[in-house]
Amino acid sequence: MLVPSPKWLDSGNNAWQLAAATFVGLQSIPGLAVLYAGYVKQKWAINSAFMCFYAFASVLVVWVLFDYNMAFGEQWFPFLGKPALATSASFTTGQAVIPAASSGMPELTFPMATLIFFQFVFAAITVIILGGSVLGRMNFTAWVIFCPVWMTLVYTVGAFSLWGGGWLSQLGVQDFSGGYVIHLAAGTSGFVAAAVVGPRLQIDREQFPPNSLLVTLIGAGILWLGWNGFNGGDPYFANHDAGAAVLNTNTATAVALLVWTLMDKMAYGKPSIIGAVNGMIAGLVAITPAAGFVNGWGAIIIGIVAGIIPWWSMNKFQKTSFMMRVDDTLGVFSTHGIAGLTGGLLVGILANPDMLEYIGTDKEAPGVNVTGLLYGDPGNQLLLQLAGAAFIIVYNAIATFVILKVISIFVPLRMSDAQLAVGDDAVHGETAYAITLGQAAE
């Protein structure tokens, strides 16, 4: 039997949200899985990619069971929604709504199933980014436990507080697409996890050459273009702001890549492809909290700053004797934590109130205007951005530390030295490349 579509359903908006969600999903698998697998030492390629695939799958299961409603459902606490199943017919076919935030939003014109999946891919990539800090030594069994627990107890709090209608959003803290909810959270939690899990073998810390830069570049390219769904999907409508967010995202990223490469050339005498990838990531991250709030000049400024401050953090600050005590494998602290914080604070300076004239596709829809310091705000928005960042940093640090300490009671957080010496074959019984150098010579 044919049933007509409900009047509230806009096929264009629904198609864009599903496409945007797919782009973001591709950032995780195969994007980050491939990027990590190419970036690490050859003996860790399988383990690093598998950590991504496991995280993606485990997050989806807890997301539909109870985490979605904890992040976007009815308010339970000012920072958390009520746990509830997201598998009933109303969730899969009914109209999308975010109850605690609905008073300040126009009616969404796609189904709940679309919204649940769209927000899931954001949740999944957060813990995968976090995993970049502990590659090459975290016990896989501990990772199996950590992913769903961290998602339930940590990610949902930041998501509800800023996006689900919680207390930070009510105060006026702005995070367009995850600079705080995703990247600052991942950078903070990743750094704490790296400290608690412990370091790689000393020989791996000293010599950790990427096993395939070309594979790394494939992952980086998927990540870059997948970001169009990341920032272009968050207006929830296929409207003018989605287009502006996509253009700003690519502009800031290109500028950051070029600036980071220039910084490498000035500091080390040679441009580095690994450096360029880090600059690309820093640019993507820094523009994320501001993508729909700034104009083209704002995007360029964010790109410049993202090529300088995270570069300094990774190449200078994280190499001080104090910071070297923590083995942050891929420098997630700098490329995600510092870059996300930088972009979030720049919202309070560069946000142009003319960027968001209205939400949705109807010019009569309610307006959202965010004003930065350069456009007349006396500094209130900047202070709000600082307060939001402080909450994310403190909560993520404490909660991640507690979760890992509890897990360590039951299973070791770090692999044994014997496993660390061998790598993938000891942990999974598999190797990334079947042809060894000896076989190739024959």
Per-residue tens of pLDDT for the chain, all 442 residues: 566 778 888 899 999 999 999 999 999 999 999 999 999 999 999 999 999 999 999 999 999 999 999 999 999 999 999 998 887 656 667 889 999 887 767 889 899 999 999 999 999 999 999 999 999 999 999 999 999 999 999 999 999 999 999 999 999 999 999 999 999 999 999 999 999 999 999 999 999 999 999 999 999 999 999 999 999 999 899 888 899 999 999 999 999 999 999 999 999 999 999 999 999 999 999 999 999 999 999 999 999 999 999 999 999 999 999 999 999 999 999 999 999 999 999 999 999 998 875 455 554 444 567 999 999 999 999 999 999 999 999 999 999 999 999 999 999 999 999 999 999 999 999 998 876 545 444 4
Provide the residue ranges of all domains of the chain, joining segments of one domain with +: 28-441
Q: Helix, strand, or coil here: 270?
A: coil
Element (H, E) at 306: helix 296-315
Q: How far apart are CA 337 and CA 331, in angstroms?
A: 9
pLDDT of residue 94: 87
Which residues, including other chains, have CB under 8 Å from residue 294's CB and lie 6 or more apart? Answer: 248, 302, 346, 347, 350, 351, 352, 355
Task: Tell me if 213 sits within 8 A of 273, measured CB to CB.
Answer: yes
In the block, tokens 């490349």 appear at 433
- Long-range CB contacts for residues 88-95, cutoff 8 Å, separation at least 24: 91/116, 95/6, 95/8, 95/9
Q: Report the phi/psi class of residue 172: left, alpha or beta, with left for phi > 0 and alpha for psi in -120 to 50.
A: left
Give pTM, 2 decimals: 0.94
Element (H, E) at 136: none
Q: Residue type at 225?
A: L
pLDDT of residue 298: 97
Q: How far apart are CA 356 and CA 248, in angstroms?
A: 14
Q: Residue type at 144?
A: V
Tokens of 340: 């996300």
Which of these, 400, 429, 417, lies nearest to 131 by C-alpha position?
400
pLDDT of residue 363: 45
pLDDT of residue 56: 98
Q: Helix, strand, or coil here: 80?
A: strand
Q: Report the phi/psi class of residue 166: left, alpha or beta, with left for phi > 0 and alpha for psi in -120 to 50.
A: beta
Tokens of 27: 């950032």
Task: Tell me if 130 sits within 8 A of 192, measured CB to CB.
Answer: no
Task: Tell me if 99 sits within 8 A of 165, measured CB to CB.
Answer: yes
Fold exhibited by the domain 28-441: Ammonium transporter fold (1.10.3430)
Q: Helix, strand, or coil here: 138?
A: strand
pLDDT of residue 436: 57
